[in-house]
């Protein structure tokens, strides 16, 4: 089992390049199978979730050719199997995007019910409601969702909750459903827009992505394209908070500053200086951080995927802060781990109340999920002494070469998998 070992205390300084957005890439890869021609996708992040989804896509018979670390070619003309294997879906929840993609293209899809990050119950009723409205019969049989239709058609669909996954999944199926679909109360996240742009580059007719109402005119088929994925706003935000928590000075490059506005606003509120360039953002933390309150919300609100990272920064800020989670019900599981590092944090319902302390101290902690895992690494970088983070497999799901990028900013962090390697690190850092 791999772990991170960290000697905290170094301010992070320098420049770091951000990879393509994992959550956009997952949907775009699934959507790639909807054409019978070769799709080329660039700026792909080299992370575990992406590699598993590519295996799932190969598993249904598509041709997947990884040209290099960040480029892949996919050809869906050879698909023979509309049933996705449980092995993949249990590893990544987002393989449910193959439901919308296969249903749209073949009018039939069989995908096991998803697992994924353990951050509370994550229903997919809105996805299924959308497919049904488009004319599909949807059943759950033996743990799998089976969606079938003789003839799909456009529909007027109102989502009961703002869901990124449902918006994208319905958009994919509707792209190949004859007639007009109007999707109301749609999610507005940058990756929803990216998927719509991608589908449009394949010949789809989707308008309004990025607003509450998405209008889709079904087309007969989709064709080849070459597409570059947008930068990962959550990876970028994670490095921005790592700079803040360590009193550092970091420029995150290859980003779209507009997508980072909620994060940037909070960093400024807690006393950081943030400078925006065309495709980069510089974060400087030259004084003790200040307190704030924050509530997670759908885009353009403060992202739930940035909630653990801000909590870590607030745990060493001056004063009392309240962080409220309004998207997922069980997203403070890391609070106990952070408390083991000396944070004064108590969770009441869906809020965490954090009394800032002077310093955190290194401890052995366990990553409970992807973003909380990254946040515990930030805590380790800011803490005095040595921190060991267990279960980093979660972190590897979504961060490309996390330790390498942090090291390039001056962090003392190693990936280790034995007591011997841990001893070696301790000896080296003294």
> Where along the sequence are the contacts to ligand UD1 (CB under 6 A)?
23, 26, 94, 122-127, 161, 163-166, 187, 304-305, 327-328
Q: How far apart are CA 50 and CA 355, in angstroms?
A: 38
Q: Which two tokens stand for residue 23?
A: 């959550």
Residue number, 165 or 257, with CB nearest to ligand UD1:
165
Residue number, 38 or 351, with CB nearest to ligand UD1:
351
Compute the least distance from the CB of residue 165 to ligand UD1, in Å: 3
Say whether 272 is catalytic: no
Q: How far apart are CA 62 and CA 78, in angstroms?
A: 5
Are 28 and 229 contacting, i.e. CB atoms less than 8 angstroms apart?
yes
156 Cβ neighbours under 8 A, 6+ residues apart: 133, 181, 182, 184
Residue number, 47 or 383, with CB nearest to ligand UD1:
47
Q: How far apart are CA 69 and CA 40, in angstroms?
A: 13
N-terminal to C-terminal alpha carbon distance within the chain: 24
Compute the least distance from the CB of residue 15 to ligand UD1, in Å: 26
Cβ atoms within 10 A of the Cβ of 12, count? 26
Residue of 125, 132, 122, 62 lying closest to 92 (CA atoms): 122
Are 290 and 269 contacting, i.e. CB atoms less than 8 angstroms apart?
yes
In three-state secondary structure terms, 384 is strand
Cα dihedral 19, 406, 116, 111, rounded to 10, equals 30
Alpha helix stretches (DSSP H) within 47-176: 48-59, 86-91, 97-106, 125-133, 164-175
Residue number, 305 or 337, with CB nearest to ligand UD1:
305
Compute the least distance from the CB of residue 13 to ligand UD1, in Å: 29
Cβ atoms within 10 A of the Cβ of 268, count? 13
348 Cβ neighbours under 8 A, 6+ residues apart: none
Residue number, 28 or 72, with CB nearest to ligand UD1:
28
Query: From edge to edge, which strands make up the β-sheet containing 364-366?
Result: 364-366, 386-390, 3-7, 412-416
Q: Which residue is nearest to ligand UD1 (CB)?
A: 165
Residue of 365, 397, 370, 368 lying closest to 6 (CA atoms): 365
Size of the chain in residues? 430
Residue 305 C-beta-side C-alpha neighbours within 13 Å: 21
Q: Which two tokens stand for residue 186?
A: 């749609």
Residue number, 247 or 373, with CB nearest to ligand UD1:
373
Q: Which run of H or of E encompasses 3?
A: strand 3-7
Residue number, 332 or 425, with CB nearest to ligand UD1:
332
Compute the least distance from the CB of residue 210 to ligand UD1, in Å: 15
Active-site option among 39, 47, 64, 117: 117
Which one-letter DSSP state was computed for residue 273? E
Residue number, 99 or 187, with CB nearest to ligand UD1:
187
CA geometry: angle 109, 146, 44, nearest 5 deg: 45
Residue number, 289 or 375, with CB nearest to ligand UD1:
375
Q: Which two tokens stand for residue 101?
A: 């993609």
Cβ atoms within 10 A of the Cβ of 83, count? 16
Compute the least distance from the CB of residue 333 to ligand UD1, in Å: 14
Catalytic positions are 117
């Amino acid at each position: 089992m791999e772990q991170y070992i960290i000697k905290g205390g170094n301010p992070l300084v320098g420049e770091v390049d951000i990879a393509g957005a994992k959550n956009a890439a997952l949907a775009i890869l699934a959507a790639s199978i909807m054409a019978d021609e070769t799709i080329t996708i660039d700026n792909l992040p080299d992370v575990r979730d992406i590699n598993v989804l590519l295996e799932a896509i190969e598993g249904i018979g598509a041709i997947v050719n990884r040209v290099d670390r960040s480029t892949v070619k996919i050809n869906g003309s050879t698909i023979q199997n509309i049933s996705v294997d449980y092995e993949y879906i249990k590893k990544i929840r987002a393989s449910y995007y193959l439901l919308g993609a296969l249903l749209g293209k073949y009018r039939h899809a069989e995908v096991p019910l998803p697992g994924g990050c353990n951050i509370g119950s994550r229903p997919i009723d809105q996805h299924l409601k959308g497919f049904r409205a488009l004319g599909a019969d949807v059943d759950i049989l033996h743990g799998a969702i089976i969606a079938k239709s003789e003839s799909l058609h456009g529909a007027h669909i109102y989502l009961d909750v703002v869901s990124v996954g449902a918006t994208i999944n319905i958009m994919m199926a509707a792209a190949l459903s004859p007639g007009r679909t109007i999707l109301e109360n749609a999610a507005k996240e940058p990756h929803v827009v990216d998927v719509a742009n991608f589908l449009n580059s394949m010949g789809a007719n989707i308008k309004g992505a990025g607003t509450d109402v998405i209008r889709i005119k079904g087309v007969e088929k989709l064709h080849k394209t070459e597409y570059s994925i947008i930068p990962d706003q959550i990876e970028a935000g994670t490095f921005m908070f790592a700079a803040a928590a360590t009193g550092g000075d970091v420029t995150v490059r290859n980003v779209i500053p507009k997508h980072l506005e909620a994060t940037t606003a909070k960093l400024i509120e807690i006393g950081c200086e943030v400078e925006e360039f065309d495709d980069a953002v510089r974060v400087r933390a030259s004084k003790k951080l200040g307190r704030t309150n924050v509530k997670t919300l759908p885009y353009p609100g403060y992202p739930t995927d940035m909630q653990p990272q801000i909590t870590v920064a607030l745990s060493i800020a001056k004063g009392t802060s309240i962080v409220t989670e309004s998207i997922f019900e069980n997203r403070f599981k890391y609070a106990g781990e952070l408390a083991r590092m000396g944070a004064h944090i108590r969770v009441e319902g869906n809020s965490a109340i954090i009394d800032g302390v002077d310093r955190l101290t290194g401890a052995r902690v366990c990553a409970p999920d992807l973003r909380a895992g990254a946040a515990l690494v930030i805590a380790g970088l800011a803490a005095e002494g040595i921190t060991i983070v267990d279960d980093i497999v979660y972190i590897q799901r979504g961060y490309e070469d996390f330790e390498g990028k942090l090291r390039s900013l001056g962090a003392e962090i190693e990936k280790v998998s034995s007591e011997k390697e841990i001893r070696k690190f301790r000896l080296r850092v003294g």
